[in-house]
Amino acid sequence: MSKSSGFLFVNQARLLKHIIKNKMNKIKIAVQKSGRLNEDSLKLLKDCGISIDNGKDQLKASSSNFPLEVLYLRNGDIPQYLRDGVVDIAIIGENVLIEKGTDIGIVEKLGFSKCRVSIAVPKEVEYKSIQDLNGMRIATSYPNTVLNYFKKFNVTADIHLINGSVEIAPNIGLADAICDIVSSGSTLFKNNLKEVEEMLTSEAVLAVSPNISEENQVILDKLQFRIQAVLKGRKSQYVLMNAPNDKVKSIIKLLPGMKSPTVLPLAIEGWSSIHTVVEKNSFWKVIDDLKASGAEGLLVIPIEKMVL
């Protein structure tokens, strides 16, 4: 083989490798363009070890270390993008899917951006039951959610669709009540409104397109595995404690660890160190019980990720 033909062969191989690399499958994920849900979504991806090459005001960005591409979209548009297969998956508020995407599957509840969708009326209005809403003008961005909820109680109302801030509607005479998402309730308070009917609770979820390919389903499985490890870590804490050996058995009975706690002898004779994992929602109850059973020197450490 001549030097020139050898050189040509090497360059063709490099070109082929470049083409294959650039044709590698990437899963497309939709994320809210801005706001708290955007920040929490990107933090979750970062905690999953995924680096996103973000630039200012970018509408699309790729990961440098995972086959994933992020599209920044309006929250209300995401269900249709999922339905059409433009994106494979999305991090979106469950309330948006209830309103616009009941046909779209949810594969993971993510535990952040929690809120509720509620009816609110002016503070001076006397409210006794949902029947008081009969015939009222309701301003909302969630008409389907309102109508479906009202059907359960045989309530009819005049729905005024508003995209944007609906809290002002009663103050300007456009509506008698509103339906909107509520987090702390401070926005309602500022607009002289009170929450009277909680229709549903919502949180961020990982939704999947009905048209996802088999290749991208494999990538989704890998991503979901990472997400579950992060979420499990966020819900748990690592607890270390010391205890006299005659108390170890009774302490172990109190521990809700993954399988069984780790027990190691201390340098001081007659004492052991016990290591376990405790869920945050039961943490203080468990700690109180452990102290009462003879545990000492408790050390609590946050868990970054937990792979089961």
Residue boundaries of the structural domains of the chain: 3-112+205-233, 115-202, 236-302
* 209-244 tens-digit pLDDT: 999 999 999 999 999 999 999 999 999 889 999 999
What pTM, to 2 d.p., does this model score? 0.81
- What is the side-by-side strand order in the sheet with 236-244? 262-265, 271-279, 236-244, 296-302
Q: How confident is the model at residue 1 (pLDDT cuts 50, 70, 90)?
A: low
Mean pLDDT of the chain: 89
Each residue's pLDDT tens digit, 155-164 = 999 999 988 7
* High-pLDDT (> 90) share of the chain, %: 69
Phi, psi for 59 (deg, rounded to 5): -100, -10
In a 13 Å sphere around the CA of 196, the CA atoms on its Cβ side amount to 22
How would residue 20 be classed by pLDDT, with cut points 50, 70 and 90?
very low
Q: How is the chain classified by DSSP, letter by letter?
A: --HHHHHHHHHHHHHHHHHHHHTS--EEEEEESSSHHHHHHHHHHHHTT--B---TT-SEEEBSSSSEEEEEE-GGGHHHHHHHTSSSEEEEEHHHHHHH-TTSEEEEE-S-S-EEEEEEEETTS---SGGGGTT-EEEES-HHHHHHHHHHTT---EEEE-SS--TTTGGGTS-SEEEEEESSSHHHHHTTEEEEEEEEEE-EEEEE-TT--HHHHHHHHHHHHHHHHHHHHHTEEEEEEEEEGGGHHHHHTT---SS--EEEE-SSTTEEEEEEEEEGGGHHHHHHHHHHTT-EEEEEEE-S----
On the question of pLDDT at 5 being above 80, the answer is: no
Superfamily of chain region 3-112+205-233: Periplasmic binding protein-like II (3.40.190.10)
The pLDDT of residue 54: 73
Cβ-in-10-Å burial (0-12, 13-18, 19+) of 284 comes to: exposed
Quote the CA–CA distance of 211 and 87 in Å, as a whole number: 9
Q: Tell me how far apart the alpha carbons of residues 36 and 113 are, in angstroms, rounded to a whole number.
A: 7
How many angstroms separate the CA atoms of 204 and 223, rounded?
Answer: 16
Q: Which CATH number fits domain 236-302: 3.40.1480.10, 3.40.50.261, 3.30.70.120, 3.40.50.720?
A: 3.30.70.120
Q: Which residue has the higher pLDDT, 51 or 185?
A: 51
In this chain, the answer to whether the domains covering 3-112+205-233 and 115-202 adopt an identical fold is yes
Architecture of the CATH domain 115-202: 3-Layer(aba) Sandwich (3.40)
pLDDT of residue 24: 66
Q: pLDDT digit string (tens) for 239-251?
A: 999 999 999 999 9
